[in-house]
Chain A
Amino acid sequence: MAKQPNSIEQIKQVWSAAWPEAVAVWNPYVTLREPTWCLASRDAHLEGLTSSFAMIRLTDHRIVIDLESVRTNRVENCALQILAHEIGHHVLIPANRYDNIGVFRRMRLALAGIEDRVPFVANLYSDLIINDALQRIHRLDMASVYMKIQQGADISSSLYMWYMRTYEYLWGLGRGVLSGKKQSPQIDADASLAASLIRSYARSWLDGAGRFAMLAYPYLIEDSEYNKARKELAKYLDAEKSGEGSEVAGGMAEIDESILEGIVDPRAEALDDRIKADSGGDLAGEGEGKERTKPSSSDQKSLLGGTGPRQRYLEPGVYIDMMRQVDPTADDNKLIIRYYRDIAMPYLVPFPVEESLPLAELLPEGTEQWEPGDPVEELDWFETTVTSPVVVPGITTRRRVYTEDVDAPSKPQSYNLYVGIDCSGSMRNPRYNFSWPICAGTIVSLSALRAGAKVMGCLSGEPGSFLETDGFVKSEHDVLNVLTSYLGTGYAYGIPRLQTPHLDKVKRKTHLLIVSDDDIFSMLQATGPDGSLNYDIAERALLRAGGGGTFVLHSSSSWHSEGVKKLEKMGWAVHYVTKEEEMVEFARAFARQFYNKTGKRA
């Protein structure tokens, strides 16, 4: 028997020595840094480890061990098993931020109404998968670790009993060795199903997550039962906050129908399997008239309430809620930007370019600000260091500007884009409800940025307030941040905003895109602060910008036909976007509007 380390320092030495062996249990080529050893629990608290004696972070691929708590829980001799378990969270489940959210997505569907319990259930599930792999495949004695921790444990919640009974099933332990002596036949049956599930989905554990949560569901409905179980199982919760502080993962706004197939109650499935086995018996009448208990995926989908293109996306509020569960510190702005970006990406269109005739001989004209995102080769280091010896990208960085020489061959140059978004009370808040116009605006803005254009965004609900980017910028975050914000003031986009001095200074042609609803016609008929009619302001802005203009309206084509004719006469294109077909048609028409004229593309 291994010698018992006495002091915390000795425990640290023993555990540190066990680290390479623990890594080798999974794979000697796994490269993980040695854990953060906290000699006192208060140090562990500073690392965010509060209830258990170990935890993992997916953000920086770290493991934190509270050695004082290790001694309190009498597991100082179990370094190899516990370290291998924590490594298992990094290499097996959840392994990465993407799969971590994958587990959460599945469990949220199963735990409808009690989604706040998802991180807790996900932690229990991943522990079962890892521990069974270590015990069965890697031959580590995980059972003895649990026996030590469970020694004298007070088990009163049904969930705790069921969870520990599952381990007894998995590892062939005697009744009550881990789960106490109070099991009911129902806990026995559920634990047996859970053990089968853990074995069946050991490799494709993402697919088993929904089923596991469905099994746990009856034990979690009552708040008091859940709170009791949470308190009793606190020392095992080492991966609940593993996704905290991480970047927002993409592709999570979409509802994956294959996920819905896995939201099945294993109890109902067992009854269903019984019917299948029976009906496979070739005896007349067998299996007939028996009720199938497995819910269909369309049934599940109706509960989920998909929105957006092909109704394949989560509602923005549900998306934000889910992502905040993975990372409670996540910024709402970043989340909503990512949400609309994910939806817009498949619909990006070719953004217009103009044929310019510059650059046979490069005649230096002066300098202008170089911004992150501009080509690095355009950065003028001499002028930059003259501006300031301390280089701050986007602030002190300069680039040289050249005059054009008409003798040169032509060079395509993308238009700039001005996006004006109506943010009055009549528009939907894109943070709560999916908004087709905002989606259309996002598509055009991202298309423009991808083509190398600069974009200026202006959010306006007037009379009232407005919010705009600092001129034309190349930052996707700045543009989408304006697009997805909400003011809720006034009644329409303020047309006088088109008088912005930023539109005077631009050297490239600029396309104007106004996203609003039919209240914009009341705004167009009003007069601006200088007494001029807003229709005239819109016309002048269109001429000044030189790259055409588009109104995208959340409205009907039969309303305000006079106003539409007037706008079209000026040169504005008007599109109505209230559903998917219209949005796709708008994206097509937007691309056609420019490419047919130049004759380059059909």
Chain B
Amino acid sequence: MIIVPTISEMIHHIKRCPPEFLAPPLLRGRGEIHTESLVNDIFRMLSGNPAAPKRIELSTEKRSKAELSLIQICCWALSHPFFRQIDSGWLNDVFWSQLAAIAALVKPELWVTDEERSEELARMILKCCGYVPAGETPEEALDRFDSVNTVKRMKVIEETRAANERAQAIRRQMAEQRAREAANVYGRE
């Protein structure tokens, strides 16, 4: 029987990420971690075949540093015992490719320091492998993922950017008007 972790357990696991996984990825001769090797090691561990040939091509030179850092953090997240119980077929190039969009929106260290970002990462991985966190219904899990989804939030902020800028313009006008009024008091005396 597969025991799916609760979301709190997954968050706790992600937040315990060792500093080695947070070290700068090796990119164009700079950095410490060879991300592609790490990914393939994790794949070998999850597939239970330590001697399997390299299976996942990351093309690291086409990826950003932030994306490679997120991939490394994902490798740590996947070291949770739960992922050894399930089939690793989902862990293919498609998964590793869809991290680019989100990586561009969040500073890498926030994935392991910010509670909400850790939750987002945990929910995203569980959703990708097709499982619902223990104690939640699929609807609840989906709603909660929507709530913490950075891509979605940034889309809303972008969409409402004009309205916010209008509000800030009003704020600025009001401050300027107040400054003018203060300067004019002498004139009215």
Contact = CB atoms under 8 A, between A and B. Distances in A.
Interface of A: 111-114, 169, 172, 174-175, 185-186, 188-189, 192-193, 195-196, 199-200, 217-218, 221, 265, 267-268, 270-271, 273-274, 276-278, 280-283, 286, 303-305, 315, 317-318, 425, 428-429, 432-433, 488
A328 to B, nearest CB: 20
B103 interface: yes
A111 B170 CA distance: 11
A433 B143 contact: no
B94 interface: no
A438 B66 CA distance: 58
14 contacts: A112-B172, A112-B175, A113-B175, A192-B116, A217-B167, A217-B171, A221-B170, A267-B160, A268-B164, A277-B106, A281-B67, A303-B176, A317-B185, A432-B186
Contacts of A217: 167-168, 171
Contacts of B104: 274, 277-278, 281
Contact of B171 (A112, A186, A189, A273): A112
B189 A432 contact: yes
Contacts, number: 130
B66 A277 contact: yes
Nearest to B189: A429
Q: Which of A218, A277, A281, A283 has the most CB of B within 10 A?
A: A277
Contacts of B168: 217, 265, 268
Nearest to B136: A174
Contacts of B57: none
B66 A281 contact: yes
Contact of A277 (B105, B147, B182): B105
Interface in B160-189: 160-161, 163-164, 167-168, 170-179, 182-183, 185-186, 189
Contacts of B185: 317, 429, 432-433
Contact of A112 (B140, B178, B189): B178
B65 A281 contact: yes
Contacts of B65: 280-282
A286 B114 CA distance: 25
B156 A114 contact: no
Interface secondary structure of B, over-half rule: helix
A305 B167 contact: no
B161 A271 contact: yes
B164 A267 contact: yes
A368 to B, nearest CB: 42
B107 A273 contact: yes
Nearest to B170: A221
A432 B156 CA distance: 44
Interface residues of B, number: 48
Contacts of B107: 273, 276-277, 280
B101 to A, nearest CB: 11
B154 interface: yes
A186 B185 CA distance: 41
A428 B114 contact: no
A282 B167 contact: no
B124 interface: no
A188 B143 CA distance: 11
A488 B189 CA distance: 9
B189 A113 contact: no
B85 interface: no
Q: Give the 3 A-B CB pairs with smallest separation, nearest first.
A: A113-B174, A281-B64, A112-B175
Nearest to B146: A188
A548 B66 CA distance: 73
A280 B68 CA distance: 11
Contacts of A185: 152, 156
Given A113-B174, A433-B186, A195 B116 contact: yes
B148 interface: yes
Q: Which of B27, B168, B171, B176 has the most CB of A within 10 A?
A: B171
A282 B27 CA distance: 9
Nearest to B28: A282
Nearest to B27: A282
Contacts of A189: 152-153, 156-157, 160
B158 interface: yes
Nearest to A175: B143
Contacts of A315: 182
Given A199-B115, A218-B164, A280-B66, A270 B154 contact: yes
A267 B154 CA distance: 9
B179 A304 contact: yes
